Amino acid sequence: MSEIVVNLYKQANPITGTVVENKRLTSERHGLDQDVRHIVIRYKDAYPYIPGQSAGIIPPGIDPRTNKPYILRLYSIASTRSGDDGKGDSVSLCVVRHFFDNPKTGEKHVPGAASNYLCDLKPGDQVKMMGPAGKHFVLPDDFKARDIIFAATGTGIAPYRGMLKEMFDASFSGRVWLYFGIPYKDAILYDDEFKALANQHKNLFYVTAVSREDMNPIPDVVPTRSNKMYVQVRMYQDKEILKDAFTKRNALLYLCGLKGMEEGIFPVLDMIGKEMKLEKPLSQVLKEEKRLLVEVY
């Protein structure tokens, strides 16, 4: 694995960037609850990241719950290492506005400090960043001829945006699947970009699972909450081609997004593995062979 830089900037010595773009990626009709933003931050000093890493952000001010400064939050990077404009001096983040219920006070729909701070930033605003963080959820150096399966829920799509662009820029010759779970059709993040990429590259298979508009047609085989369409259903529907991919002993599976998505996907993998007549569950084989990469939160 080539050298990956981590934590060049820490809380005591953050880098200051300037927001150059903050664009809503989802339809306005969903209001603040599906407010997902593509935020581009430009910096003057070096910030050497690669797709799959995260940027640390600290909202300014004091956390009223602790009476101490806010602590760092990590956000997945959504750009290639050279940034959306290719100039190598910016990083793009994909951020969803977060709300939570506070069981202690009974307050409902409390705005999350960091995500609301980021989503409200305007071009020209300055942001303190730490990181880059993480070095495990990245592409291997020898990705070029492998079969790779990416599965995402929600903003878990972010790392794949940068990875896919870098893969095709490097003449990727394997096959890659992108399974993307999202609640509504008009909330599919970066949909146009992925469609364009899939049109251009016949070895990219882009598959969406729209949970609140499409039903799961096979709930007896792949059960899902309220029979919703989830990524694992789409993966099962593609089981013949995925069997072929997993027959290659170097195929990789990446999962990114909601904690709990593994629990729905592993049984589907294991069904696929059984049809492949594997001696062990496929999820176990992938884990043991370090071909399963998971980033959930």
Write out the residues near ligand A2P by the rule CB under 6 A: 153-154, 181-183, 211-212, 225, 228, 230-231, 258, 260-261, 264
Is the backbone peptide bond immediately before 132 cis, with ω within 30 degrees of 0?
Answer: yes
The single-letter DSSP state of residue 218 is: -
Nearer to ligand A2P, 52 or 181 (CB): 181
Which SS3 state, helix, strand or coil, does residue 200 take? helix
Which SS3 state, helix, strand or coil, does residue 156 take? helix
CA-nearest of 51, 61, 84 to 157 is 51
Nearer to ligand A2P, 116 or 203 (CB): 116
CB of 222 to ligand A2P, least distance (A): 10
Which SS3 state, helix, strand or coil, does residue 170 take? coil
Nearer to ligand A2P, 17 or 154 (CB): 154
| Residue with tokens 């290659």, as numbered in its chain | 248
Residue number of the CB atom closest to ligand A2P: 154
Instruction: Give the up-direction half-sphere exposure of residue 262: CA atoms within 13 A in the CB hemisphere.
Output: 16
CA-nearest of 18, 15, 20, 22 to 39 is 22
Beta bridge partners of 208: 180
Strands 252-257, 148-153: pairing is parallel
CB of 98 to ligand A2P, least distance (A): 10
CB of 143 to ligand A2P, least distance (A): 25
CB of 245 to ligand A2P, least distance (A): 20
Nearer to ligand A2P, 20 or 231 (CB): 231
The residues assigned a catalytic role are 75-76, 256, 295, 297
